[in-house]
Amino acid sequence: MRNYSPTEMMTVAASRSLKASDVCFVGIGTPSAAANLARLTHAPELVLIYESGTIGTKPTVLPLSIGDGELSETADAVVSVPEMFRYWLQGGHIDIGFLGAAQIDKFANINTTVIGDYNNPTVRLPGAGGAPEISTQCKEVLIVLKQSKRSFLDKISFITSPGHLEGGESRKEAGITTKGPTAVITDLCVMKPDPLSKELTVISLHEGVTKQDVIDNTGWEIKFADDVCITPAPKDEELSQLRELNEKTIKAHGV
């Protein structure tokens, strides 16, 4: 019997995508939880950067926003937002951009702007923030979000942050020279873009998840690799560190 939740599996799997030598531009929410879990377990030298200008931050609780004082108080350095974007990000100094999303399509394009027509949306989302720059200027991008037909769509309402655009070489043809999304981690599986078409392809299913589960929660005809494997279950240390981090966060913020 599994002793972890789908969200914990997703967070742990996402954390494993980071290595100690990475410099990672972190988004708030699950990306932040995964990145800090990596720092607390297998990647203690991982350098975390947040949009507010904090470099090498080591929060003891998860931040509620990029302006959380915990980030600056535990950082190696704090720079201005213009310097963060112009020098550190656009200068090519950041290895990984770690993002969440409201909607994503088969080529890992992200929508965090609106659902429905732009001029008369059904839902107005939080917006872009620094995600468009992160998705184009970091050397590569990881995306983490829960999977459902509401979030995984054949065509998203608005492209806030480009993934692989129309697939193939379209990202490169648009003048974007970085790799773009190299993995999408969900509560059901791990996907990677096909080397040629760039369409997201399932390479790993989490324990207890079937191919049909993924199909039922995807808004396009999802593809599977020939050798789909089972994602390794969370280790005891990973679960204990993640749960302790979440407990500290709840106690500190009351959420």
CB–CB of 156/145 below 8 Å?
A: no
Tokens matching residue 115: 């659902």
Length of the chain, in residues:
255
CA count, 13 A, side-chain hemisphere, 197: 8
- The residues, any chain, with a CB within 8 Å of residue 40's CB and separated by 6 or more, are 241, 245
Phi, psi (rounded to 5 degrees) for 169? -95, 15
* Residues acting as catalytic residues: 51
The closest alpha carbon to 134, from 186, 192, 75, 92, belongs to 92
User: From CA 234, how far away is CA 41, in angstroms rounded?
Assistant: 12
The closest alpha carbon to 193, from 217, 162, 216, belongs to 162
Tokens matching residue 159: 């492209």
Phi, psi (rounded to 5 degrees) for 201? -130, 130
Tokens matching residue 81: 């937002």
